[in-house]
Chains A and B, each alone.
Chain A
Amino acid sequence: MEIFAALASVLIDPIILMWVLAAAVVGMVVGAIPGLTASAAIAMLLPVTFYMQPLAALAFLYVIGKSGRYGGSIAAILFNTPGTAASAATQIDGYPLSRRGMSTKAMKVATLSSIIGDYVGEILLIAGVGIIAAIALKLGPPELFAVYFAAFVVIGSVIGKSITRGLASAALGVLIKMVGLDPISFEERFTFGSFDLTNGISLVPLMIGIFVLGEVFSQLEARGKPIAPVDAPDSEDTRAMNRLTWAEYKPCVPHVIRSSFIGSFIGMLPGLGSAIAAFVAYGEGKRRARNPQEWGKGALEGIAAPEAANNAVSGPSMAPLLTLGIPGSTIGAILVGVFLIHGIQVGPTLFLTQKELVYQLFACGLVGIAAYGLIGYFGASFVGRFILKIPTDVLYPVIFLTSFIAAYSARGNLFDVIVMVVAGFGGWLMKRYDFNPAAFVISFVLAGGAEETFRQSLLLSDHGVLIFVTRPVALAFLILGVVAVAARARTLGKQAKQASLNDA
C-alpha cells in the first residue's frame, strides 16, 4: 500500500508538515472572512508557489482548498454570510442557532461533519482513483445535464418561505447568467454593446455583492435600531448550552454518512463542485429527515448534511483531474496550473511517472484534514468569539473594504467591482423584499453548465431530446429529479391540509 509509505514520508518531513499546517490555518481564516473564497485565496497565493518544491506547493494549495471549504461555515454561522459559495446551505440552519447563542455548538457540528465528509472523500479517492476516473470518463454531456437537472429540482425544494418568490429569484439567476457570449455559437447576449459584458458576470464579485455588501447595507439600515445581541455573555449557562453531547450528534450521523457519499459522487463529476453538493445534500437530508419542520430554524442536522457534503467533494474531485486533466472544481483548475508550472504532465501516465508524488499529496490531504479539524474544533469558537467582540462599527467597515479588495483581486478587473456594488444593492433589496439570494446564486451557478451540456447533447443526438431517455445514466437522474418533485408536492399538500385543519 503506497499510501502508508507516503504517509510515513510526509510525517517525518518537517518542512512539508509546516506547509500543511500553514495551509490549514490560512484556509480557515480566509474561509471565515465573509467574501474571501478559498479559490480566490488560492489564486492570490498561486504566484508564491512557483518558487516552492512541487509537493509543498501542491499540498499547500490542496489543503487550503479543504480547510477553506470548512472555514466558510464559520462566517455562514456567525454572520449569515457564507464565506464561500459552498457554505451557503450551512447558513440556513447555522445562523438561527447562533441567534439563540449556540454558535459554538453549531461550529462544532460543522467541524465534525466536515472532517468526516472530508475523510470519506479522501479515502474513496485513495482506494478507487482508477475506478472513479473510468466512471467520470463515461459520463458525457447528456449525463451531466441530467445531474444539473436533478440539482435544480432538489434545490427548488429547499427554496425558502415563499415558493413563488424563490422561483422568481432562481429565474433571475438564470437570466443574469445569460449575459455574455452564447457558449456554443459565441453570439453576444444582453450585452447592450458593452465590451465588459461580453465576458458575462463573474461569480466571485456577484457573490460578494449579494451576500457580503448586501449584508453590510442591511446593517447600515439597522443602525440606530437596538441591535439584538447575538452572543450571550460568557457565563456558565452559555457554556453548558454550547457543549456538544453524543446524544445530540447521534441523529446527525446518518445525514453525515449519506451526505459524504452524495458529496463524493458529485465531486467526481467534472464541473459541478461543492456548492451544488451542499445544496443537494441539504435537500436530500430535509426530504428524509424525521423532523423536517425544524430544518431552517436551527436543526443541527441541517448543518451536518451540507458541511459533510461540501468537504467530501474535495478528494474525489482530484480523480478526474489527476487521471484525465479535467478539473472538477475551480480549485482543481488552479491545481492543474501548478502541476504544469512544475513541469508535471497531468494525465493517465501521471500514476506511472509521479506515483510517489501523487500518494504523498493524498497523504498531505489526510494530515491536513486532521490539522484543520483540531484547530477548528478547539479554535473556531475562539475565532468566532473574537470576531463577535469586535464592535460592528469596526467590523462592517472592514468587511466593506475587504469586499472591494476581494472583488478586484480575483481577476484584477475594475468592472468586477462595479458588478459587486450593483449586486450589493440587488442583494439588499432581495433580502428586504423576502426574495431568496441563495436560490439566486445557486441557479446562477447551475445555469451555465446546464445550458452548455444541454446544447452539446442536442448536437450529439440524432433524435433531439430523446438522447436523455436512451442513455441509462441520464434517464436515472431525470427520474430521480421527477420523484423528488413528486415527493415535495406530496409533503406540501399534506402540510396545506394540516394547516387548513388547524384553522378549522
Chain B
Amino acid sequence: MNRRHFIQLATLTSAGFALSGTCAFADWKVRRPVNIILPYKAGGGTDSYARAVASAGDGLFPVPFVVVNKPGSSGMVGATEAARGRPDGTTVLLTSAGSFLLTSMLRDTDVTPLESFRIVAQIGKLTTSLMVPYDSPYQSLDDLVADIKARPGQVRWAHTGNGGFHNVAGQGFLDSNDLDAVGVPFKGGSATRAAVIGEQVSFGMIGIQQAAGFEEQLRPLALNSDTRDTFMTDVPTFAEAGYDAVDVSSPIIVFAPKDTPDDVVAALEAALKEITSSQAFIDAMAERGNAPVYLPGAEAEANLRAMKENAGPIISALK
C-alpha cells in the first residue's frame, strides 16, 4: 500500500512539474539524443557554455544532450556540418555567433548564420574590452588616444585574429575616433593576453572575462558595451569614457538547421529558457566570470541583423 501510495504521489508531482512551465517542450517526442555541435576544441570559452547547457539540461527531455566538438577553419567546419544535419531538433549548433557572422561576411562562406539556420535562443554574451599592461603609462582612455594622435600609425595593438569580433570592435573604435594604429593578430585569447602582459603591444582588445585573475598584470580601460559588466563593475564603457565605438559583441547562440519545424524550435527555446535560469547553469557560468544572458530567438536574430549592418563597412575595409 505504501508503495502504491508513493508511486501515485510521484506521478502526481511529476505531472505537476510538467504542467508548470515545461508544457512548451513536454509534447516534443524526441527519441535520439540532442547533439550540440560545438565548432571549437574542448576546453575553450564557448565549450564551457555547451557543457553547462548539457549538464543543467539533463532530465528535461527523456534523452541527454551530447556535446560534439568539431573544430576547424575558425568554426566553419562545425557550422557546415550542423547546417547539413538532420532538421528534427536532434542536431543543433552552439557557437559564438558574432565570430560566426563576421567570419561568414569576411570570407563569403556558403554557410551563414542568418540564411542557413533558424535561431533558437541566445544563452550568453561575450564582450570585448580595451586592456593595457599594468605598468602602462596610459592611466585612462584619454592618455591612449592622445598618444595615438601624437604618433599616427606607430602604436601597435593586439587582437585575436582578423575579422574576429575583437578585431572589428577595436578597428571600429579607432575608425569612429579618426585614429590610426597598427593591429597585430595573435592566435586566440590567451596568446593575445600574453602579448599585452609582455608589453609586445601598447594595448589589446580582449574579452572582459579574460581579465579575471590577471588584475596585477592587466588594466581594462574601457568596455565595448552599452552597460557595465556584471563582475568587473569598475570598468567604464566606451561611451562613459567619452568615445564613440561600434556595437559589436559575440552573443552565444543556439542555432538549428534551416528546415527544423516550428514546434521543435519552440520546444528547444523553452528548454533553453529553463536551463539558463537554473542555479546550476548560473553557478557554472559565474566560475568563469560570465553571466547568462537569455534572449528569445526572435530578439537574438534582430540583434544579429543589426550587428551585420554595423560591421559591414569595417569588414569591407578589412577585405
Q: Name A residues whose Cβ lies closer than 8 Å to a Cβ of B.
A: 43, 46-47, 50, 137-141, 180-181, 183-186, 188, 195, 198-199, 270, 320, 324-327, 333-334, 336-338, 340-341, 343, 345, 347-350, 411-413, 452, 456, 459-460, 462
Over the window 175-215 of chain B, the binary record of Cβ atoms lying under 8 Å from chain A Cβ atoms (1 yes, 0 no) is: 00000001111110011011101101100000000001111
Contact of A413 among B70, B184, B213 (CB under 8 A): B70
Contact: A411 with B71, CB < 8 Å?
Answer: yes
Known contacts being A338-B43, A412-B68, A460-B201, is A198 close to B76, with CB within 8 Å? yes
7 A-B residue pairings within 8 Å (CB atoms): A137-B197, A198-B76, A324-B193, A324-B194, A345-B288, A349-B215, A411-B71
Contact: B200 with A411, CB < 8 Å?
Answer: no
Contact: B156 with A343, CB < 8 Å?
Answer: no
Give the complex CA separation of A456 and B69 in angstroms: 29
Contact: A460 with B72, CB < 8 Å?
Answer: no
Contact: B77 with A324, CB < 8 Å?
Answer: no
Which residue of chain A lies nearest to B197 when distances are taken between CB atoms in the complex? A137
Give the complex CA separation of A337 and B106 in angstroms: 29
Give the complex CA separation of A337 and B188 in angstroms: 14
Q: A46-B42, A195-B110 are in contact. List 5 more A-B contacts (CB 8 A).
A: A186-B74, A337-B43, A345-B288, A348-B214, A350-B213
**A115 → chain B closest CB, angstroms:** 30
Complex contacts, A336 vs chain B, CB 8 Å:
43, 190
Contact of B74 among A181, A334, A349 (CB under 8 A): A181
Complex contacts, B73 vs chain A, CB 8 Å:
180-181, 195, 198-199
Lowest 6 A-B CB distances belong to which pairs? A337-B43, A199-B73, A347-B213, A140-B200, A199-B72, A343-B287
Give the complex CA separation of A270 and B191 in angstroms: 9
Contact: B190 with A325, CB < 8 Å?
Answer: yes
Say yes or no for B87: interface residue by CB 8 A criterion. Answer: no
Say yes or no for B139: interface residue by CB 8 A criterion. Answer: no
Interface residues of B in 38-79 (CB under 8 A from A): 41-44, 47-48, 51, 68-74, 76-77
Complex contacts, A325 vs chain B, CB 8 Å:
190, 193-194
Contact: B212 with A345, CB < 8 Å?
Answer: yes
Complex contacts, A343 vs chain B, CB 8 Å:
284, 287-288
Give the complex CA separation of A137 and B135 in angstroms: 14
**B148 → chain A closest CB, angstroms:** 15
Which residue of chain B lies nearest to A50 when distances are taken between CB atoms in the complex? B51
Which residue of chain B lies nearest to A344 when distances are taken between CB atoms in the complex? B287
Known contacts being A340-B48, A345-B212, is A186 close to B161, with CB within 8 Å? yes
Give the complex CA separation of A412 and B72 in angstroms: 11
Say yes or no for B154: interface residue by CB 8 A criterion. Answer: yes
**B74 → chain A closest CB, angstroms:** 7
